[in-house]
């Protein structure tokens, strides 16, 4: 097919590791100022940003860009006085991100809620090899704390599973652990192999507009044919991800996997920047990635092992539904 499968399969295998992978509380003594900008959050997660038109002991009259609101004080959770310089999404309600359990490639500390699920198809396009590789995947929320994911790719032929357990959940912090395991099949010069990654990731939210994900993943292989032993890499990959909501239905991402020390002379890190446009059921992701590696492009492992950046495009379309 003209592709240099040895190098391409190394890249795809390691990318599989990654792909599966202060407000003040409202009180009656708040200081409201007429004709000043405030952000108000209600008990049902409704948020409104606008100018205070008037207020009484039990009602606040807020003018937003869309309409004027009459807000009962008893329904308010938080209220914040915004500085003129602060940029706030001018929206009376944010659309929830249906795929907040994942970044562009890897997992976040969040899980799907019980009874929720999604199916998706991700496409990798390597600039040196302009042939798309598709990776269908589905994930299901068994409970709010347990997710099961699985998928299969026709080329290269891979089957993969990815369970995930959320160990901690607070208002602003979520911590999850899990693993991903993949099995390849004989195809041209691709052999029957297996590989996977153990991972842990924490996600910290800031005022519903920003979130930071920090984690690590330890790749492994299982020698089924000889000893059935599990062999792990000496060093984990470190995950640093950041999300920023720039509109009520859009997010910007950066996701970075850092290799702390190459294995067998192969260093492999990933940096990325992209975005997600979403609605109640669909989510469309796109990104530009840079693969930082000293792997050789030549079949057989020879050739130039200088450090290089391999550009790559990523697209993903997901459909979310109730079980």
Between the CA of residue 74 and those of 77, 275, 285, what are the distances in Å?
Answer: 8, 37, 39
3-class SS at 142? Answer: coil
Instruction: For residue 205, give the DSSP letter.
Output: E
Which pLDDT score is estimated for 78?
A: 80
Of 21, 20, 12, which is closest to residue 155 (Cα–Cα)? Answer: 12
- Tens of pLDDT, residue by residue, the chain (323 residues): 444 445 455 555 555 544 444 333 333 345 677 888 888 888 777 888 888 888 887 888 988 888 889 888 888 888 888 754 454 444 445 678 899 999 988 999 999 999 999 999 999 888 767 778 888 999 999 999 999 999 998 877 889 999 999 999 998 999 999 999 988 876 665 566 788 899 999 999 987 789 999 999 988 888 777 777 788 777 888 999 999 988 888 999 999 999 887 655 567 789 999 999 998 899 999 999 998 887 665 545 555 667 778 889 999 999 999 98
Which pLDDT score is estimated for 244?
A: 93
Cβ proximity of 38 and 55 under 8 Å: no
Of 295, 286, 282, which is closest to residue 316 (Cα–Cα)? Answer: 286
pTM over 0.85: no
Phi and psi torsions of 261, nearest 5°: 180, 120
3-class SS at 60? Answer: strand
CA-CA-CA-CA dihedral for 83, 89, 90, 95, to nearest 10: -150
Phi and psi torsions of 18, nearest 5°: -80, -40
Strands ordered across the beta sheet of 76-81: 68-72, 59-63, 47-55, 37-42, 76-81
> What domains can be seen in the chain, in order of their start residue?
5-22+96-322 (2.40.160.40)
Residues sharing a CB contact under 8 Å with residue 87, sequence separation 6 or more, in sequence order: none
């Amino acid at each position: 097919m003209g592709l240099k499968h040895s190098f391409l399969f190394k890249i795809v295998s390691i990318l599989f590791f990654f792909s599966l992978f202060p407000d003040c509380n409202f009180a009656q003594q708040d200081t409201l100022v007429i004709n000043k900008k405030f952000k108000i959050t209600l008990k049902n997660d409704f948020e409104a940003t606008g100018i205070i038109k008037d207020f009484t002991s039990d009602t606040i009259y807020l003018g937003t860009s869309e309409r004027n609101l009459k807000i009962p004080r008893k329904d308010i959770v938080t209220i914040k006085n915004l500085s003129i310089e602060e940029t706030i999404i001018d929206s009376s309600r944010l659309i929830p991100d249906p795929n907040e359990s994942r970044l562009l490639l890897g997992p976040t500390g969040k899980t799907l809620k019980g009874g929720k699920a999604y199916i998706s198809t991700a496409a990798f396009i390597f600039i040196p090899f302009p042939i798309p590789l598709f990776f269908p995947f589905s994930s299901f929320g068994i409970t709010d704390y347990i997710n099961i994911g699985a998928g299969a790719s026709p080329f290269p032929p891979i089957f993969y599973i990815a369970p995930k357990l959320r160990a901690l959940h607070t208002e602003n912090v979520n911590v999850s652990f899990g693993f991903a395991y993949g099995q390849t099949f004989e195809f041209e010069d691709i052999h029957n192999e297996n590989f996977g990654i153990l991972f842990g990731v924490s996600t910290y939210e800031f005022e519903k507009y920003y979130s930071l994900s920090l984690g690590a993943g330890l790749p492994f292989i299982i020698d089924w044919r000889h000893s059935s032993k599990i062999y792990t890499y000496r060093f984990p990959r470190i995950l640093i991800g950041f999300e920023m909501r720039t509109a009520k239905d859009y997010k910007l991402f950066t996701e970075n996997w850092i290799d702390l020390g190459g294995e067998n002379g192969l260093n492999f890190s990933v940096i990325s920047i992209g975005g997600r446009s979403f609605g109640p059921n669909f989510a469309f992701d796109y990104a530009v990635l840079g693969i930082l590696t000293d792997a050789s492009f030549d079949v057989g492992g020879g050739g130039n092992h200088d450090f290089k950046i391999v550009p790559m495009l990523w697209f993903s379309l997901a459909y979310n539904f109730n079980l």
